[in-house]
Chains A and B, each alone.
Chain A
Amino acid sequence: MQPVGAGVPLRVDIAEKTFKSAEGVSVTALKELSFEVRQGEFACLLGPSGCGKSTTLRILLGLDRDFQGSFQMPVGGGNRTAVVFQEPTLLPWRTVEQNVRLALPKDMRGVDLDRLFKTLGLSDMRTLFPSELSLGLARRAALARAFATEPAVLFLDEPFVSLDEQTAERLRHLLLSVWSARPTTALMVTHNLREAMMLSDRIIVLSPRPAHVIGYFDVRLPRHYRNPQVMSDLLRSFHQKFPGAV
Chain B
Amino acid sequence: MNQPDGTGTPAHRPTSSLAPALPALTVIASLLGLLVLWSLAATLWPSRAFPPPQAVWQVLVQDGASGELPYHLGVTLARVAASFVVAMVLGSVIGVLLGSYRRADRFFNPWVILFLNIPALVIIVLAYIWFGLNEAAAIGAVAVNKIPNVVVTMREGARAFDPRYAEMATIYRFSPLDRLRHVILPQLQPYIAAASRSGIALIWKIVLVVELLGRSNGVGFQIYLYFQLFDVAAILAYTLAFVAVMLVIELLLVQPLERHATRWRRRPA
Residues in chain A within 8 A of chain B (CB atoms): 61-63, 80-83, 85, 87-89, 91-94, 98, 102-103, 105-106, 125, 128-138, 145, 149, 162-163
Contact = CB atoms under 8 A, between A and B. Distances in A.
Interface residues of B, number: 29
Contact of B178 (A80, A81, A102, A134): A102
Given A81-B171, A105-B173, A131 B2 contact: yes
Contact of A149 (B4, B172, B186, B264): B172
A80 B170 contact: no
B183 interface: yes
Given A87-B164, A89-B164, A133 B175 contact: no
B20 interface: no
Contacts of A125: 8
B182 interface: yes
| Interface majority SS (helix, strand, loop, mixed), chain B | loop
B10 A128 contact: yes
B108 interface: no
Interface in B131-183: 164-165, 167-168, 170-175, 178, 182-183
A25 B202 CA distance: 50
Given A87-B164, A91-B186, A102-B178, A133 B2 contact: yes
B12 interface: no
Given A131-B1, A132-B6, A134-B5, A92 B170 contact: no
Please report whether the interface of chain A is mostly helix, strand, loop or mixed according to DSSP: loop
B141 to A, nearest CB: 36
Nearest to A102: B182
B165 A130 contact: no
Nearest to A63: B167
A102 to B, nearest CB: 6
17 contacts: A63-B171, A81-B171, A82-B171, A83-B168, A91-B165, A91-B186, A93-B182, A94-B186, A102-B174, A102-B178, A103-B172, A128-B8, A131-B1, A132-B8, A134-B7, A134-B8, A136-B4
A94 B172 CA distance: 16
Contacts of A134: 2-8
Contacts of B186: 91, 93-94
Contacts of A61: 167, 171
Given A88-B2, A92-B1, A94-B182, A132 B10 contact: yes
A130 B264 CA distance: 8
Nearest to B186: A93
The 4 closest A-B pairs by CB, nearest first: A103-B172, A93-B186, A129-B264, A135-B4
A135 B6 CA distance: 8
B9 interface: yes
Given A85-B164, A133-B8, 7 more contacts: A89-B168, A91-B183, A102-B182, A131-B265, A132-B8, A134-B6, A134-B7
